[in-house]
Amino acid sequence: MAYTKAHFIIILINLCTIVIATSNNTLNRPKFSSILIFGDSTVDTGNNNYIKTLGKANHYPYGRDFPGHVPTGRFSNGKLVPDFIASILNIKDTVPPFLDPNLSNEELLTGVSFASGGSGFDEFTAVLTGAIPMSKQIELFKAYVEKIKCIVGEKEAKRIIGDALVIISAGTNDFLFNFYDIPTRRSEFNIDGYQDFIQNKLQIFIKELYEVGCRKFSVTGLSCIGCIPIQITVKCVSLKEKKCVEDENSDAEIYNKKLAKRLLVLQEMLPGSRVVYTNIYDPLINLISQPEKYGFKETKRGCCGTGLFEVTPLCNEITPVCDDASKYVFWDSVHPTEATYQYIAKYLEMEVLPKFQFHMDYTFEKV
C-alpha cells in the first residue's frame, strides 16, 4: 500500500494527540513539596496512640487490611484518604503521625499528620473526647516547623511549608458531640448559629496556618452525617426501617454551601493563597445511594460487630468482623472502610487537585 502525504499528516496528528493527552494528565496533577494534615479521626494516622484517650485504634481489628496487617492507629481497616492522596501525588505511600517519636528526617520533610480522633473546632469537643484540640494541633505544627528549619535551614523550610498541600478535615464531631447527640451548645445556638460559630473557628485556624507560612489549603466540608450508622441507630425508632437521618444531612448540605462561599472570600483576604472547598458529601452519598454501581453492598452498618454501635473500644480483638470489608461503606459504626476512603481519594484527584494546578498556572501567567 502506498502512503500519501495525507496519510503521514493524519498519523502525525494522531501521535501529537496522544502525546498531548498524556502530557495533560501529568500537568493536571499539581506538584507539592509535602502533605500536612489537620483534623479528626478521618485523617488521624496514629497520633491518638501517644495521648491519654479512650479513642484509640491501635488494636485489632483496626488495620486488618493495612500493609503488614498491623493496627497503626488509623480508624479504619486500612489506609485513609491522606495516604492515598500522598501516593497519588508521588510524595510517599503513607502519612505518619507527628507524635511518632521515631520519625526520620525524610518523613518529616515530606509531611505528617497532626490530626487526632475525636477532635473538632469547638473546644468542648476535645474536652469530651480527650483528643488533641485543633488549637493544640497548631502548636504541634509550629514545633514541626522548627524541626524542619533545623534540618534544611530557614529559607528551604519556608519553601517546603509554602508548597505543602494542607488538608483540613474536621467538624463532624462538633455537631455530634455538642449539638445532635449531646446538646451542650443548644442552649446558646440554633443550628444556623452553631454552623457560623464552627466556621468562624475554622477561618481563624486557616489564618493562623497562613501566618506560619502555609498557602495551599484543601478544606473538607461535612459528610452526610445522618447516614453514619451510629446516627441511624440512635435516631431510628425501628431497626427494620433504618434510613439516613434526613434533617442532619440537610444541615450538612447547608453548612457546606456556607463553607464554599466563605472560603472564596477568605482566599481573597490571604494574598498568594489557594483555599479549595473539598466536597466529600457527594461522593459518600453516591456510594450510599447506589452501592452496587461502585462495587459495595452494605451501607447502613459497619463491618465490625453488629456495625450499629461498635466503635474504638467496642470494636476490639474479640469482636467478630465481616469477611470482606471492601463491600462495606463503613468499617465500624462511625468510620468508613479503606475501600470507601480510596473511592473518595480518587474523587478528590479528579475534582479537587486540578483546582490547585489551575491556580498555579494562572499565577504564573500573571507574573
Label the pairing between strands 165-169 and 35-39.
parallel
The predicted pLDDT at position 22 comes to 39
The predicted pLDDT at position 238 comes to 56
283 neighbors 329 (Cβ within 8 angstroms): no
Whole-angstrom Cα distance, residue 310 to residue 332? 6
Helices (H) and strands (E) in the chain, counts: 13, 4
The predicted pLDDT at position 20 comes to 42
First-last CA distance in the chain: 52
Q: Which domains can be identified in the chain, with CATH numbers? A: 34-225+244-281+337-351 (3.40.50)
pLDDT (tens, 9 = 90+) of the chain, 367 residues, equals: 454 554 444 444 444 444 444 344 444 568 999 999 999 999 999 999 999 999 999 999 999 999 999 999 999 999 999 999 999 999 999 999 999 999 999 999 999 999 999 999 999 999 999 999 999 999 999 999 999 999 999 999 999 999 999 999 999 999 999 999 999 999 999 999 999 999 999 999 999 999 999 999 999 999 999 999 999 999 875 556 789 999 999 999 999 999 999 999 999 999 999 999 999 999 999 999 999 999 999 999 999 999 999 999 999 999 999 999 999 999 999 999 999 999 999 999 999 999 998 554 433 333 3
For the annotated catalytic residues, the residue numbers are: 41, 332, 335
The predicted pLDDT at position 29 comes to 67
The predicted pLDDT at position 176 comes to 96
Q: In the numeric block, which cell numbers belong to residue 49?
A: 496512640
Q: In the numeric block, which cell numbers belong to residue 117?
A: 480522633
Secondary structure E strands in the chain: 35-39, 165-169, 216-220, 274-278
SS3 call for 274? strand
State the residue for C-alpha cell 488509623. Answer: 74
Q: In the numeric block, which cell numbers belong to residue 97?
A: 503521625
How many CA atoms within 13 Å lie on the side-chain side of 59?
Answer: 13
Q: Residue ranges of the alpha helices (H) in 168-280? A: 172-175, 191-212, 229-235, 246-269
User: DSSP string covering 22-47, please?
Assistant: HHHHHHTS---S-EEEEESTTT-SSG
Torsion of CA 336, 36, 47, 260, to 10 degrees: -50
Alpha carbon 281 to chain centroid, angstroms: 12
> pTM of the entire structure?
0.90
The predicted pLDDT at position 242 comes to 80
Instruction: Judge if the upstream peptide bond of residue 61 is cis by omega within 30 degrees of 0.
Output: yes
